[in-house]
Amino acid sequence: MTSTAAHRAVEAVWRIEAARLIAGLARLVNDVGRAEDLAQEALVAALEQWPASGIPDNPGAWLMTVAKRRAIDEIRREVTLAGKVELLGRELPRPDGPELPEPVEDDVLRLMFTACHPVLTPEAQAALTLKMLAGLTTEEIARAFLVPTTTMAQRIVRAKRSLAEARVGFSAPGADELAPRLASVLAVVYLVFNEGYAATAGEDHLRPALCEEAMRLGRVLAALVPTEPEVHALLALMELQASRLRARTGPDGAIVTLLDQDRGRWDQLLIHRGLTGLARAEQLGGAIGPYALQAAIAAVHARARTADQTDWPRIAALYAVLARVVPSPVVELNRAVAVGMADGPAVALDLVDGLGDRLRDYHLLPSVRGDLLAKLGRPVEARAEFERAAGLTLNERERDLLLARAQECG
Amino acid sequence: MRFMVMMKATADSEAGVPPKAEDMAAAIAFHEELVKAGILLAADGLKPSSAGARIRFTGNERTVIDGPFAETKELVAGYWIIEVASKEEAVEWFKRCPNTMGEGFELEIRPFLEPADVGEALTAEQRERITDMEATAAERHG
- Residue A205 contacts B where some CB pair is shorter than 8 Å: no
**Which domain covers residue A42, as residue numbers?**
3-103
In chain B, whose CA is at the least distance from the CA of A277?
A: B41
Q: Which of A197-211, A262-276, B58-72 has the lowest mean pLDDT?
A: A197-211
* Domain membership flag for residue B137: no
Residue B108, pLDDT above cutoff 80: yes
Side-chain half-sphere of A289: how many Cα atoms within 13 Å?
26
- What does the pLDDT read at residue B137? 58
CA distance B84 to B86: 6
Query: From the CA of B58, how many Å to the nearest CA of chain A?
Result: 31
* Domain membership flag for residue B42: yes
**Maximum CA pair distance of chain A?**
82
- CATH at residue B22: 3.30.70.1060
Strands B107-111, B2-8: parallel, antiparallel or unpaired by DSSP?
Answer: antiparallel
pLDDT in tens, A46-99: 999 998 998 898 999 999 999 999 988 887 777 555 555 555 554 544 444 444
Q: Which residues of B92-103 are buried (b: 16+ CB within 10 A; e: fewer)?
A: bbbeebeebbee
Q: Which helix (H) or strand (E) holds A94?
A: none
CA distance A277 to A234: 9
**Given an 8 Å threshold on Cβ–Cβ distance, is A220 in contact with B86?**
no
- What does the pLDDT read at residue A175? 83
**Given an 8 Å threshold on Cβ–Cβ distance, is A273 in contact with B41?**
yes
Between B82 and B124, the more confident residue is B82
pLDDT in tens, B130-142: 656 655 555 555 4
- What does the pLDDT read at residue A95? 46
Beta bridge partners of B108: B6
**Given an 8 Å threshold on Cβ–Cβ distance, is B138 in contact with A215?**
no
CA distance A129 to A213: 10
Residues in chain B: 142
CA distance A213 to A124: 16
Q: Residue B122 in 3-state DSSP?
A: coil
In chain B, whose CA is at the least distance from the CA of A133?
A: B37
- DSSP code string of chain B: -EEEEEEEP-HHHHHTPPPPHHHHHHHHHHHHHHHHTT-EEEEEE---GGG-EEEEEETTEEEEEES--S-GGGSEEEEEEEE-S-HHHHHHHHTTS---S-TT--EEEEEPPPHHHHTTSS-HHHHHHHHHHHHHHHHHH-
* Domain membership flag for residue A16: yes
Most confident of A276-290, A346-360, A390-404: A276-290
Between A169 and B2, the more confident residue is B2
**Given an 8 Å threshold on Cβ–Cβ distance, is B126 in contact with A264?**
yes
- What does the pLDDT read at residue A201? 44
User: Which chain A residues in 117-136 lie under 8 Å from chain B, judged by CB atoms?
Assistant: none
User: Which chain A residues in 348-377 lie under 8 Å from chain B, judged by CB atoms?
Assistant: none
- Residue A12 contacts B where some CB pair is shorter than 8 Å: yes
- What does the pLDDT read at residue A78? 72
- Residue B118 contacts A where some CB pair is shorter than 8 Å: no
User: Which chain A residues in 44-103 lie under 8 Å from chain B, judged by CB atoms?
Assistant: 55, 59
CB count in 10 Å sphere of residue A135: 24
pLDDT in tens, A146-167: 889 999 999 999 999 999 999 9
Q: Which among B37, B88, B135 has CB closest to A12?
A: B88
Best mutation target among B87, B88, B140 (most A Cβ atoms within 10 Å) is B88
- Residue A175 contacts B where some CB pair is shorter than 8 Å: no
Q: Which residues of A257-279 are buried (b: 16+ CB within 10 A; e: fewer)?
A: eeeebbbbbbbbbbbbbbbebbe
* Domain membership flag for residue A23: yes
Beta bridge partners of B6: B79, B108
Distances (CA, A) of B18 to A262, A311, B13, B21: 45, 47, 7, 9
Residue A5, pLDDT above cutoff 90: no
CA distance A128 to A122: 10
- What does the pLDDT read at residue B135? 57
Q: Which of A172-181, A373-382, B53-62 has the lowest mean pLDDT?
A: A172-181
The proportion of chain A whose per-residue pLDDT surpasses 70, expressed as a percent, equals 91
The proportion of chain B whose per-residue pLDDT surpasses 70, expressed as a percent, equals 80
CA distance A219 to B36: 7
Residue B117: list chain A partners with CB under 8 A: none
Q: Rounded to the nearest 5 degrees, what angle is found at the Cα of A342, between the Cα atoms of A340 and A345?
A: 25
- What does the pLDDT read at residue A76? 78
- What does the pLDDT read at residue B58? 94
Question: Which residues fall within 8 angstroms of residue A336, CB to CB, at 6 or more apart?
Answer: A348, A351, A352, A355, A368
Mean pLDDT of chain A: 89
Question: Which residues fall within 8 angstroms of residue A109, CB to CB, at 6 or more apart?
Answer: A172, A224, A225
* Domain membership flag for residue A369: no
A213 near A136, Cβ under 8 Å?
yes
Residues in chain A: 410
- What does the pLDDT read at residue A197? 84
- What does the pLDDT read at residue A102? 47
**Given an 8 Å threshold on Cβ–Cβ distance, is A264 in contact with B127?**
yes
* Domain membership flag for residue A89: yes
In chain A, whose CA is at the least distance from the CA of B115?
A: A246
A376 near A346, Cβ under 8 Å?
yes
Domain count, chain B: 1
- What does the pLDDT read at residue B106? 93
Q: Which among A11, A209, A222 has CB closest to B88?
A: A11
- Residue B132 contacts A where some CB pair is shorter than 8 Å: yes
**Which domain covers residue B6, as residue numbers?**
2-111
Q: Taking the model in full, what pTM does it have?
A: 0.88
Q: Residue B62 in 3-state DSSP?
A: strand
CA distance A319 to B26: 46
* Domain membership flag for residue B106: yes
- What does the pLDDT read at residue A199? 62
Q: Which among A16, A265, A272 has CB closest to B37?
A: A16
Residue A216, pLDDT above cutoff 90: yes
**Given an 8 Å threshold on Cβ–Cβ distance, is B85 in contact with A220?**
no
**Given an 8 Å threshold on Cβ–Cβ distance, is B92 in contact with A12?**
yes
Between A131 and A200, the more confident residue is A131
* Domain membership flag for residue B32: yes
**Given an 8 Å threshold on Cβ–Cβ distance, is B36 in contact with A105?**
yes
A296 near A278, Cβ under 8 Å?
yes
Residue B36: list chain A partners with CB under 8 A: 105, 220, 223-224
Domain count, chain A: 1
In chain B, whose CA is at the least distance from the CA of A55?
A: B92
Which among A387, A393, A399, A404 is positioned nearest to A362, based on CA atoms?
A393
* Domain membership flag for residue A9: yes
Which among A63, A86, A66, A166 is positioned nearest to A121, based on CA atoms?
A166
Best mutation target among A225, A268, A303, A309 (most B Cβ atoms within 10 Å) is A268
Residue B79, pLDDT above cutoff 80: yes
**Given an 8 Å threshold on Cβ–Cβ distance, is A15 in contact with B85?**
yes
Q: Which among A16, A55, A219 has CB closest to B89?
A: A16
Q: Would you report the helix, strand and coil content of chain A in percent, each value rounded to 5?
A: 75, 0, 25
